[in-house]
Structure 1
Amino acid sequence: MDKNKRTILKSFSPIKILIPVILGLAATVWLFIKDDKVSELKGIAEANMWWLLAALAVLVVRDAGYMYRIRSLTDKFLTWRNSLDVIMLWEFASAITPSVVGGTTIATIILNKEGIPLGKSLAYVMLTAVLDNMFFIVAAPIALLLTQGDVFPTFNLEPSDVAKLKSAFYISYALIAVYTFIMIYALFVRPRAFKWLLLRATSIGFLRKWRVNAFQHGNEIMWASEQLKGKDFNYWARAIISTIFVWSARYFLLNCLIAAFTDVTLSEHALIISRNLIFWIVMLIAITPGGAGIVEMAFPSFFGLFLGRFSSIVVVLYRLITYYPYLILGSVFLPRWIAKVFGRHPKESEVGV
C-alpha cells in the first residue's frame, strides 16, 4: 500500500473519529444532568428560526471562503470541486486531532495527492498556518483594547479561576506568537540559517536522536520558502483578506446562534466576537481532538452571561453545526477522495475505508 495512503488511513481511523465524539457527547450530557437541565431542551422551540438559518448561511459562506483561499493560494491550480475536497478533508483532520497539532501533516499529503508538488504543498500549508496565527496575534490586542478587559469572562467563576484563565490565554498567545515569528523568519527571511540552527541544536547529546528529523524539516522549510518567492501584491492581498473573512465568519456564526435565543445589542455583538477570539486562543492548547469535551465545558463560562438558561442548548447547537458535521462529511468525502487520487485496487477495496 502507498505510504501516503497508509498515513491517511491511519490518521482517519475509526477510533480517532470515535474519541472526539465520545468526549463531546459525554461533556454535553454532563452539562445537562449536573444541574438537572434536561427539561431546558424544550427551549429550542423558542429560538428565532431566521437567526438559526443565518448561522447555517454563515457556515456555508465561511467554507466557501476557505475554498476561495486555498484555490487562490495555489494560483487556481485546484478547481472549485477539488478545493471542496481539500477543505472538507482538512476540516475532518482538524476535528480528529488536538488543536495544538491540527491537520497540517495530512493537509500536505492531501494537496500533494491533488497533483501539487510536495514543496508547494508544504508552502501552502505553512502559509495558511502563518496567516491564521497572524490573525490571532493582531486581533487579540484589538479585542482587549476595545473591550477594556471585559473580554475575560467572570460569569460563575471564582477570582482564582479568572486568573488561571487569563494565564492560559497569555501563555497560549505567547506560544502562538513565538511559533509564528519563527515560521516567518524561516520561510521569508533566512530559511538556510534556520536549517543550520536546527542542525546545530540537534548536535547536542540528548537531542541527537532528532537530528534526522531536523535535517528533513530544514529541507522542507527551504523547499517551501523557494515556492513563495516572487509572489505579487495581489496574491498576498487575496491571502490576507480571505483569512480575515473566514475567521470573522467563523466567529460571527456564534453571534447568530446567541441572537436566536436572546436580544443582542450592537455592543454585545462586538463583545461576543471579542470573547470568542479569546476563547479559541485558549482552546488552541487543548489536548483533546478538536477540543472535544473541553469546548463544551468552558463554553458556559464564556457565553453564559448572554444566554442564561439557554446556555446549554446553544453549546449543543454550536457543536452540532460547527464540529460534528465535519466528522460526518469527512467520512463521506474520504472514500471517494481515496478512490480518486490513489485509484481502486481489488485487495484494498475490500478494506472498510
Structure 2
Amino acid sequence: MKYLAISIALSVISMGVVIYLTYTPGVLEHLKPKRLPGLGLAIVVTLLKVYFTAAKIRYLADKVIGKMAAVRIALTWDFASAVTPSTIGGAPVATYAMTREGIKLGQSSAIMLYSVLLDQFWYAMAVPILLISSMYLQVLPPEIGLVGNVTMILIYTGLLLYGALLAYGLLINPAVIKKVIEKIFKLPFLKKYADKVNAEADNLESYSRLLRKKPLTFVLKAFYLSTMTWLCKIALPVIVVLSLLPGDEILLILRSLAMNLAFLVIPTPGGSGGVEGLFAIFLGPLIDRKAFIGLAVFAWRIITYYSSIGLGIFAMLWYVNDSVNQKLAETDETKPTEI
C-alpha cells in the first residue's frame, strides 16, 4: 500500500506540473471530434497488451494453466510493475501469482527469467534500430543534452550486457543461477530458508534445461508474443498523441521506443514522476500545440497506468480471497469431528 500511495502521488504531482507548464485556456476547443475515437483504439491496444502477456505466460508454462489464470497473472504483473520501482519490476509478484495458480516456484521463476530474456532479445533488436535511425533522424530530442545522450548510450550498453549474461545463465549454463542462489542463501539471516530455496533452485535448473531443449519454433513463437507486447507499449503513446493532433508518425514511433527503454531505469514506483517528464521531453516537441502536451500525458497515463492499477487490484483480490478460502478449508479439516 505504501508503494501504491507513493506511486499515485508522484504521478498526480508530475502530471499536475506538466499540465500547469503547458496549459492554455481554451485548449479543448481545438480538439477535433474525428480524432478522438483514437483514444478508444488506445484502450483496445492496452487490452491487447494484456492478452499477449497472458498468452506468453501460458505458452511458456506449456499451457498447464487456463486462459483466465494467465490473464490474472498478467494483470497482477502489470499492477506490480505500476507500484514497484521500475528497476525491480513486477516479476517477483508475478512469480507469486503463478504459484497461486498451481505452478511450482522453481518453474515459475524459470518462466519469469525466460520471459525477461525474451525482453532482452527484443532490446538487442531495438537498440541497433535506434542507433541506425539516429544517423538520419533526430531520435533523441536535443532537449536532453549531452548528459541525456550519454545516459541513453549507457542504458543501451547495460541492456545488451545484461541480456548476454542472462542468456548465458539460462540457456548455456543454468547451474550458474543455482550456484548464485545457493551462495546468497548461505548468508546468516537467510540460512533458515536455504533448504526450501535450494530445492526450488533445483526445479529452476531442471526447467531451464527443458526450455533449452525446446525446438526453434517454440522460441520463435515465444519471441513473437513478447514482441507484440512491446509493440503495444510503444504504440500507445503514439496513438494517444495522434488522437489529439497530427504528427510525424515515424519519429513518434522511434521516440516512443527510445522513451520506453529509458523508463526501465527510473527508480520510483511504477516510474511515476519520471515517465510523465520523459513523455513531455521525448514526445512533447513533436506535438504542434504546446497546450496539448499535458492533455496527452494525462490521457496516456489514465489509459495505461491507472487502468493497470484498477484491473490489477481485482486480480490481487482474487488471489487474496482464494488464499483466505484455502486457509478456512484447511482449518475446517483440522477441526475434531463432533460425536
| TM score, norm. by length of structure 2 | 0.85
Residue identity opposite 2:298 in structure 1: V
Query: 1: distance between equivalents of 2:30 and 2:40?
Result: 14
Change in Cα spacing, 1:194 to 1:96, as seen in structure 2 (3 Å) is closer
Residue identity opposite 1:103 in structure 2: G
Residue identity opposite 1:62 in structure 2: K
| Equivalent residue for 1:129, pick from 116, 139, 144 | 116
| Equivalent residue for 1:325, pick from 301, 307, 311 | 307
1:184 is displaced (CA, Å) by 0.8
Residue identity opposite 1:330 in structure 2: G
Aligned match of 1:243:
226
Number of positions where the alignment pairs a residue of Structure 1 with one of Structure 2: 321
For the 8 Å contact 2:18–2:280, the answer to whether it is kept is: no
1:279-333 per-residue CA deviation (whole Å, 9 max, x = no partner) reads 1212211010111011112211111122132111101111110101111112222
1:54-97 per-residue CA deviation (whole Å, 9 max, x = no partner) reads 21121122221112111111111121111111111110011111
Does residue 151 (structure 1) correspond to residue 131 (structure 2)? The answer is: no
For the 8 Å contact 1:143–1:151, the answer to whether it is kept is: yes
Query: 2: distance between equivalents of 1:342 and 1:120?
Result: 24
For the 8 Å contact 1:136–1:277, the answer to whether it is kept is: no
Aligned match of 1:222:
205
Aligned match of 2:28:
42
Q: Which has the larger displacement, 41-50 or 76-85? A: 41-50
For the 8 Å contact 2:83–2:270, the answer to whether it is kept is: yes
| Equivalent residue for 2:298, pick from 295, 298, 316 | 316
Residue identity opposite 2:49 in structure 1: R
Does residue 117 (structure 1) correspond to residue 104 (structure 2)? The answer is: yes
Q: Secondary structure at the match of 1:290?
A: coil
1:227 is displaced (CA, Å) by 3.9
Does residue 291 (structure 1) correspond to residue 274 (structure 2)? The answer is: no
1:256-277 per-residue CA deviation (whole Å, 9 max, x = no partner) reads 111112223xxx3222111111
1:98-122 per-residue CA deviation (whole Å, 9 max, x = no partner) reads 1111011111111122111222111
Aligned match of 1:58:
45
Query: 2: distance between equivalents of 1:177 and 1:220?
Result: 27
Aligned match of 1:349:
none
Instruction: For 1:262-301, list aligned pairs within 5 A.
Output: 262-264=245-247, 268-301=248-281
Aligned match of 2:127:
140
Query: 1: distance between equivalents of 2:206 and 2:65?
Result: 20
For the 8 Å contact 1:147–1:271, the answer to whether it is kept is: no
For the 8 Å contact 2:36–2:244, the answer to whether it is kept is: no
For the 8 Å contact 1:21–1:292, the answer to whether it is kept is: yes
Query: 1: distance between equivalents of 2:29 and 2:265?
Result: 33
Residue identity opposite 2:3 in structure 1: K
Query: 2: distance between equivalents of 1:97 and 1:45?
Result: 35
> Unaligned regions of 5+ residues in structure 1, if any?
1-13, 347-353
Aligned match of 1:6:
none
Cα-Cα RMSD: 2.8
> Unaligned regions of 5+ residues in structure 2, if any?
329-339
Change in Cα spacing, 1:210 to 1:303, as seen in structure 2 (3 Å) is farther
Query: 2: distance between equivalents of 1:294 and 1:300?
Result: 10
Instruction: For 1:149-228, list aligned pairs within 5 A.
Output: 149-154=137-142, 157=143, 161-193=144-176, 195-196=178-179, 222-228=205-211
